[in-house]
Structure 1
C-alpha cells in the first residue's frame, strides 16, 4: 500500500467510526423511545437492559452503515479539498478515481461484510430481540403502591392505600378481591392500618392488616325463585394475606422456537423454503377452486372435466409427490425404530434366559430375519384368504381364472349372464313428441323447473361465496409471499447502499471542499432522507403488488446511482456546483443564447 492510500484511508477511518457510533446511537434512541413505556419501570436488572440495548445496536446497524459511509466519505474529501491536499494530489498527476480507490476497496469489503451480517448475524439477533422484548412486555410492573391510587398489578386484587408510613407501613386500606377472574366487586376488605413486607428473596409478599372488616357476597343465581344470595361480614383484629410474586414479577423467558415463523429471523436459504411453502398454499387454493366448481355443477361436468391449467396441475403433482415421499420416510423411520425396540427386547430376553450366550447375531442379520418373517407371514395370510373365498362359491358356479403364477380366482358366470340380460331390456329408441309433452307437463305441474332453478341459483351463490373466501386467502398468501421476497432482496440492497452512498459522498465532498460537521452533515441528512423515502416507497409498492418486489427493493439504489455518477463526472472536471459564480455563468450563457435567437428571428 502506498503512502497516498494510507493517507486517504487513515483520514477516512476515523470519521467513519465516529459517525457510525453517532448514527447508531441516534437510531438506537429512536427505537428505544418506541418501547419506552413498555420496557421501563418494571424493576428489571441493569444486565437485562444492557442485553436488550446490545441486540438493538446490532439489529439497526444495517441502516446505520450507509449513512455513516456517506457522511464520513463526504467529510474526508471535503477536508482534503479544504486544505488543498486534493489539489496537490491532482497536480502530481494522480486522477480523482485513483484517489477514490483505497476508500472504494474498503467500502466494497464493508458491503460484503454487511451482506454476511444481514444474512447470518442479524436474523439470530432479531430472534433474541423479539423474544426478550416480548418477555419484558408481558412482565408486570414492579410492585409500587402509591397513596390514593388503586393498584392492580397483583392478579386477582385491587388495592388502594390512602397513606403510606415509612417503607412498609400503610394506613386506611381498601382491597377488592376478584376470585377466579371475577370482575365484579363481591369481596371487599377494609382495614385501619397494615404492613407489607417481602420475604423469601422477594418471591413472596406478606400483607398484615389490623382492625378491619371483610364483606363477601356470593354471586346471585339467575332463577327468580331461587333463595337470596348469601352475604357475610367478618370482623378481624389481624389478618395476613400472602401474595406469590414468583410468577407475577419475575421475567419469564419464552422459548425462541415460538418466533420461528417470522421472516425477520430467517436467512436467505430459510426464506427460499418459506417462499416454496407459501407457493404451495396458493397453488392448493387455486386447484381447489376447480374441484369445487366441478362438484357443484355435476350435470354439466358429467361428460367433461374442469381441468386446471398446466402450471397448476404440474405444481400440484409435484407437491403431492413430495408429501407422499415425506409420509413414506416417516413411516419407514417409525418402522425402523419399532424394529430396534423389538430387537432390543428380544436380545434382553435372550440374555436373561441364557446368560452364557455371548455370541449374538449382528443387528443387520436380525433386521433381515425379521423382514423375511414379515414377508412370509403376509404371503401365507394372503393365500389363505384367497383360498377361503374360493371355497365359499359352489362348484357348479366356479370358473377358474389365473390371477398370477400360483393363485386362482373363481367367477360366477350365471351372475354375468343375468346382468347382460337386464341390460338388453333397456330402450334404445328416441322419445316421441307425445311422450316429451307428457314429461314436460309433468315437470311443470310438479314444480320441477322452479326447484331446479332455485337449486342452480343456490349452487351459484355458494360457489361465488366459496370463490370469494378463497380469493381472500390467496390474496393474504400472496401478500405474505411478497413480504418474504422483500426480506430476501433487502439483504442485498442494504449492503449495496453502502457503495451507492460512497459514490455520492466522496465526489460531492471533492466538489464542496468543506470539511467538519457543517455543510457535510446537512448534505448527508438530505440525501439520507431521500434514500429513506425512496426505500419506503419502493417497499410499499412491492407489498401492495403495484411493482415487482425486486424492482421495489432496488428502487432507492437505482435512483441514487445516477446522482453518484453525475457527481463523479463533475468532480473529475472540477465543477463548481456549490459556488454562486457557477450558476451566474449559466444564467448569463442562457441570456446570451436567447438574445442570439431573437436577433436571428428578426
Structure 2
C-alpha cells in the first residue's frame, strides 16, 4: 500500500468510526424512545437492559452504515480540500478517481460485510430482540404501592393504604379479594396497620396485617325468594397473606420458536422457502375456486367440466407430489420406529422363554387353526352375502314389476308405451311446469347460485390478495438485504466528490449536507417500499428505487469534482446566469 493510500484511508477511518458511533447512538435513542413506556419502570435488572440495548445496536447498524459512510467520506475529502492536500495531490498528476480508490475499496468490502450481516447476523439478533421485547412488555410493573391509591398490580387483589411508614410499614389497609373470579366487594379485609416485605429471593411477598376484620359474603345465584346467602365476619389480631410473585413480577422468557414466521428473522434461503409456501397457498385457493364453482352449477358436471388453467394444474401436481413424498417419509420413519419396538419386544420375550421351540410349534399350530377357521368363516360369509344380494335383487325386481303393473292397470295400459308424445300431451306437460312455478323456481335457484358463487369468489379474492401482499413483503425483505448494503457505495459516490467540491471539513457544512441527502434517501426508500407493498411497482424496483435515484447524483458530483467545479460558491451561479443571458441575446439578434 502506498503512502498516499495510507494517508487517505487513515484520514477516513477515524471520522468513519466516530460518525458510525454517533449515528448509531441517535438511532438507538429514537428506538428506545419508541418503547420507553413499555420497557422502563418494571424493576428489571441492569443486565437485561444491557442485553436489549446490545440487540438494538446490532439491528439498527444496517441503517447507520450508509449515513456514516456519507458523512465520513464528505468530512475526509472536505478536510483534504480545506488544507490544500487535495490540490497538492492533483498537482502531482494524481487524478481524483485515483485518490478515491482506497476509500472506494474499503467501502466495497464494507458493503459485502453489511450484506453478510444483514443475511446472517441481523435475523438472529432480531429474533432475540422480538422475544426479549415481548417478554418485557408482558411483565407487570414493579411492586410499588402508593398511599391513597388502589394498587391492582397483583392479579386478583386490589390494595389501598392510607399511609406508608418507612420502607415496609403500612397504615389503614383495605384489601378487596377477587382471586376466586368474583367481581364486586364480597371479600373485604380491613386492618389498622401492617407490613409488606419480600422473602425467598423476592419470589414471594408477605403481607402482615394487625388489628383487623375480614368480611366475606357468598354470591347469590338464585332468585330473591330463596334464603339469604352466608355472610361471615372475622376479627383478628394478626394475619398473614402470602403472594406468589413468580409469574407476575418475574421476567418469563418466551421460546424463540414462537417468532419463527416473522420475515425479519429469516435469511435469504428461509425467505425463498416462505415465498414458495405462499405460492402454494395462492395456487390452492385458485384451484379450490374452480372446484367450488363446478359444484354450485350442476349442469357443468353433466355436460362439461371446469378445468383449471394449465399453470395451476402443474403447480397443483408439484405440490401434491411433495406432500405425498413427505407423507411417505413420515410413514417410513414411523414404520421403522414400530419395527424397532417390535424387535425389542421380541428380544425381551425370547429372554424370558425357557423352551422357545415348543412355543414356536404351539404358536404355529394355533396360527394354522386360526387360518383354517378364518378361511371357513370368510367362505361362509361370502356365500351368505351372495345369497343375500340375490334375494335382494329378486325382491327389487319383484317390487319394480309390481309397481309397473299397478301403474299400467291404473292408466288402463297393459304394456309400456313406446310411441312419442303428441302435441296435446306436450302442451299439458308444459302447462304443468308453468302453472306450478317450476320456471320461477329455476330462476330463483339460478340467482341464489350466482350470488353464492360471487360471495365465494370475493372471499377467495380477499384471501389471495392477503397472500400476495405477504408475498410482496417477503420479496421486499429479501431485496433489502442487498439494497441496504449497496446504499453504502451509492452514498459514498455522493459524499466523497461533494467533500472535494465544498472543501470544508469539520462538523458544520458536511453534517448539514449529509443530513439533507440522507433524508432524501430515506424518503425515497420509504416511497419505493410503499409502492412495492401496494403492488404499484415490482418489489425489485421499489427496493432499489432510492439507490437508482442516488446514483445519478453521485456520477454528476464526480464529474463536477474532476472539473473543479464550484457548485457551492456564488460566483459559479453568477457565471451560469450570465451565460444564460448571453444565450438569450444571441437568439434575439438572430431573430432580428
TM-score when normalising by structure 1: 0.88
Once residues 43 and 428 of structure 1 are traced to their aligned partners in structure 2, the CA distance between those partners, rounded to angstroms, is 95
Q: Which residue of 1 aligns with 2:442?
A: 452
| 1:136-285 alignment, distance < 5 Å | 136-221=136-221, 223-285=223-285
Judged with a 3 Å threshold, the aligned counterparts in structure 2 of structure 1 residues 386 and 206 are, in CA distance, closer, same or farther, namely closer
Pairs within 5 Å for 1:298-377: 298-353=298-353
Asked if the contact 1:157–1:175 (Cα under 8 Å) also holds between the matched residues in 2, the reply is yes
Structure 2 residue corresponding to 1:561, chosen from 551, 556, 569: 551
Instruction: Answer yes or no: is 1:488 the counterpart of 2:460.
Output: no
Distance in structure 2 (CA, Å) of the matches to 1:296 and 1:177 = 58
- Asked whether the equivalents of residues 11 and 76 of structure 1 are also in contact (C-alpha less than 8 Å), the reply is yes
Counterpart for residue 83 of structure 1: 83
Distance 1:186 1:9, change over 3 A: same
- Distance verdict in 2 for CA 1:391–1:508, change over 3 Å: same
Match of 1:518 in 2: 508
RMSD over aligned Cα, in angstroms? 2.9
Alignment partner of 1:129: what SS?
helix
Shift in Å at residue 391 of structure 1? 5.7
Offset at 1:431? 4.5
What is the match of residue 584 of structure 1? Answer: 574
Deviations 1:498-537 (A, max 9, x none): 0001111011111111011000000000011011111111
Structure 2 partner of 1:32: 32
Structure 1: any 5+ residue segments left out of the alignment?
357-378, 399-411
CA displacement at 1:384 relative to structure 2? 9.1
Q: What does the per-residue CA deviation read over 1:226-279, in whole Å, with 9 as the maximum and x for residues that have no partner?
A: 334443332222221111112211111111111111111100000100111111
Give yes or no for contact 2:155–2:179 (8 Å, CA) kept in 1: no
Q: Deviations over 1:163-209 (max 9, x none)?
A: 10011111111111113333433222222111112111211111111
Measure the CA separation in 2 of the matches of 1:201 and 1:231. 38
TM-superposed CA distance for 1:386, in Å, is: 9.2
Q: Which runs of 5+ in 2 are unaligned?
A: 357-370, 405-414
8 A Cα contact 1:268 1:488, kept in partner: yes
Shift of 1:348: 2.6
1:150 and 1:394, CA in 2 relative to 1: closer, same or farther beyond 3 A? closer
- Distance of aligned partners of 1:136 and 1:394 in 2 relative to their CA distance in 1, 3 Å threshold: closer
Matched residue, 1:19: 19
Write out aligned runs for 1:390-409 (5 A).
none
State the distance in 2 between where 1:194 and 1:34 align.
Answer: 40
* 1: CA distance, partners of 2:256 / 2:579: 67
Q: Aligned pairs, how many? A: 562
Q: 1:273-313, CA deviations, whole angstroms, 9 ceiling, x for partnerless residues?
A: 01111111111111111111110100243110111111111
Q: What is the aligned counterpart of 2:517 among 527, 549, 553?
A: 527
Q: Mark the CA change 1:248 to 1:390 in structure 2 (over 3 Å): closer, same or farther.
A: closer
- 1:109, distance to aligned residue in structure 2 (A): 0.6
Does the Cα contact within 8 Å between 1:192 and 1:210 map onto a contact in 2? Answer: yes
TM-superposed deviation, 1:566: 0.6
For 2:508 and 2:211, the matched residues in 1 are separated by 70
Q: Which moved more, 1:6-15 or 1:298-307?
A: 298-307
Deviation at 1:393, TM superposition (A): 8.6
Which residue of 2 is the match for residue 95 of structure 1?
Answer: 95
Aligned to 1:594: 584
Does the CA contact (< 8 Å) of 1:221 and 1:229 recur in 2?
no
Shift of 1:466: 1.5
Residue in 2 that maps onto 1:373: none
Which segment is superposed worse, 492-501 or 465-474? 465-474
**Equivalent position of 1:541 in the other structure:** 531
Secondary structure, in 3 states, of the residue corresponding to 2:249?
coil
Tell me what 1:479 maps to. Answer: 469
The answer to whether the Cα contact below 8 Å between 1:214 and 1:233 also exists between their aligned partners in 2 is yes
Asked if the contact 2:294–2:301 (Cα under 8 Å) also holds between the matched residues in 1, the reply is: yes
1:90-138 deviation digits (Å, cap 9, x = unpaired): 1111111111111111111100100000000000001111111111111
* SS in structure 2 of the partner of residue 131 of structure 1: helix
**CA distance in structure 2 between the aligned counterparts of 1:449 and 1:146, rounded to whole angstroms:** 78
Q: 1: CA distance between counterparts of 2:554 and 2:250?
A: 53
Does the CA contact (< 8 Å) of 2:115 and 2:482 recur in 1? yes
Gap change, CA 1:380 and 1:506, over 3 Å in 2 = farther
* Residues 350 and 32 of structure 1, relative CA distance in 2, 3 Å threshold: same
Larger proportion of helix: 2
Judge conservation of contact 2:5–2:102 (CA < 8 Å) in 1.
yes
Aligned partners of 1:426 and 1:325: how far apart in 2?
Answer: 57
Question: Residue in 1 aligned with 2:44?
Answer: 44
3-state DSSP class of the match of 2:319?
helix
Equivalent residue number for residue 359 of structure 2: none
User: Distance in 1 between the 2:418 and 2:308 partners?
Assistant: 36
Superposed CA offset, 1:4-47 (max 9, x none): 11111111111101100110011111101111111111111111
In 2, are the aligned partners of 1:78 and 1:513 still within 8 Å (CA)?
yes
Separation (CA, whole Å) in 2 of partners of 1:148 and 1:3: 74
Aligned in 2, Cα 1:240/1:434: closer, same or farther, shift over 3 Å? same
Between 198-207 and 497-506, report the one with greater CA deviation: 198-207
Matched residues in 1 for 2:225 and 2:204: separation? 45
Mapped pair 1:437 → 2:427: yes
**1:179 is paired with a residue of what secondary structure?**
coil
1:498 matches 2:502: no
Aligned-partner Cα distance in 2 for 1:317–1:99: 59
Give, in whole Å, the separation in 1 of the partners of 2:585 and 2:533.
Answer: 52
Q: Distance in 2 between matches of 1:493 and 1:287?
A: 36
Q: 1:190 to 1:390 in 2, by over 3 A?
A: closer
Distance in 2 between the 1:220 and 1:293 partners?
Answer: 56
